[in-house]
């Protein structure tokens, strides 16, 4: 038998070490992917049982019940992914209220659709709702346009009992409290500030007319009631040199900030600036021009 040379053994050793290093690199790479995903979102949602309704706001919902009522007992709060769950007992009967910005109807409720299709319409604190009878149980669905809700009673309760239970619940839309939404708002607010700087530099009233909340009273004395008045405004009086200097400062975008009450954004100096805010429809609008 031919003996392996030292050179052959050296080659095998090198190949073995390369394989070990590659394998280690793959393992380390796997770990970095997880870390990178965590860093890219910066969001850690606490799933499982939570202490209160406030803890649910991290997923954009607020669910609670009147705990002062003698009929309400065994109140528990839970987060399951993007679903907030409030469970309690009403006169000993188990009830579950759920809310989510991503799920709706039976996917949200987590129960099988065993209804015969008969539907009753109603109103829950100003929102249109639909009620179904299940086997067993009663269920109600409604939405505020962003957050979807379900309430399930584990027995086939009467309409009177269902409405009584509904009168004890509290639900609020906290969608903008979500960390991912907050991140997106911050990104979009900077983009809108950049748009303001460009539009003002270009004196582009045609674009600007869709960005302004009317009526508008500038600090320079211009009264702008609508789009037509804006299109006919004196550009020199609106886009003053001192305002343009403030908007074009090299640190203007980095110094984009909120007002003390947090309701609006400000770009510019403390005296010459543009205020804007996020409306309920999800659009940014200019609210004040200090020129």
- Confidence at residue 284, expressed as pLDDT on a 0 to 100 scale: 96
Contacts of 274 (CB under 8 A, 6+ apart): 196, 200, 243, 247, 266, 267, 268, 286, 288, 289, 290
Q: What is the pLDDT of residues 41-75, one digit of tens each?
A: 455 666 899 999 999 999 999 999 999 999 999 99
pTM above 0.75, yes or no: no
Contact call for residues 149 and 99 (beta carbons, < 8 A)? yes
Share above pLDDT 90 across residues of the chain, in percent, rounded to a whole number = 76
Please write the tens of the pLDDT for every residue from 116-125.
888 999 999 9
At 246-269, the pLDDT tens digits run: 999 999 999 999 999 999 999 999
CA atoms within 13 A on the CB side of 188: 14
pLDDT per residue over 128-156, tens digit each? 999 999 999 999 999 999 999 999 999 99
198 pLDDT more than 80:
yes
pLDDT-derived band at 280 (thresholds 50, 70, 90) equals: confident
Q: Is the pLDDT of residue 202 over 80?
A: yes
Structure confidence by residue, pLDDT tens digits, 219-244? 988 899 999 999 999 999 999 999 99
Which whole number is the average pLDDT over 89-95?
Answer: 97
Token pair listed for 216: 């508008």
Mean of the per-residue pLDDT values of the chain: 87
CA dihedral over 191, 193, 198, 199, signed as positive or negative: positive
No. of helices (H) and no. of strands (E), the chain:
8, 16
């Amino acid at each position: 038998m031919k003996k392996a040379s030292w050179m052959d053994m050296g080659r095998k050793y090198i190949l073995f070490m390369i394989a070990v290093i590659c394998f280690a690199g793959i393992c380390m790479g796997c770990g970095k992917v997880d870390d990178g995903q965590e860093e890219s979102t910066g969001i850690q949602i606490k799933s499982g049982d939570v202490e209160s309704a406030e803890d649910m706001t991290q997923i954009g919902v607020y669910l609670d019940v009147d705990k002062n009522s003698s009929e309400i007992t065994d109140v528990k709060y839970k987060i399951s992914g993007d679903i907030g769950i409030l469970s309690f007992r009403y006169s000993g009967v188990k009830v579950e209220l759920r809310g989510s910005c991503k799920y709706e109807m039976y996917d949200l409720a987590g129960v099988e659709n065993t209804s015969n299709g008969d539907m009753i319409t109603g109103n829950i604190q100003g929102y249109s709702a639909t009620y179904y009878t299940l086997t067993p149980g009663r269920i109600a669905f409604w939405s505020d346009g962003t957050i979807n809700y379900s309430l399930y009673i584990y027995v086939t309760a009467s309409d009177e009992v269902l409405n009584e239970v509904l009168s004890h619940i509290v639900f609020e839309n906290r969608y903008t409290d979500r960390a991912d939404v907050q991140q997106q708002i911050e990104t979009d607010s900077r983009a809108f500030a950049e748009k303001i700087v460009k539009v003002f530099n270009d004196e582009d009233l045609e674009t600007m007319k869709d960005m302004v909340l009317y009526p508008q009273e500038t600090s320079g004395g211009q009264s702008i009631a609508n789009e037509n008045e804006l299109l006919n405004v004196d550009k020199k009086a609106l886009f003053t040199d001192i305002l343009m200097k403030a908007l074009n400062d090299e640190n203007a975008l980095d110094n984009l900030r909120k007002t003390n009450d947090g309701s609006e954004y400000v770009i510019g100096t403390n005296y010459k600036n543009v205020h804007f805010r996020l409306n309920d429809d999800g659009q940014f609008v200019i609210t004040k021009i200090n020129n």
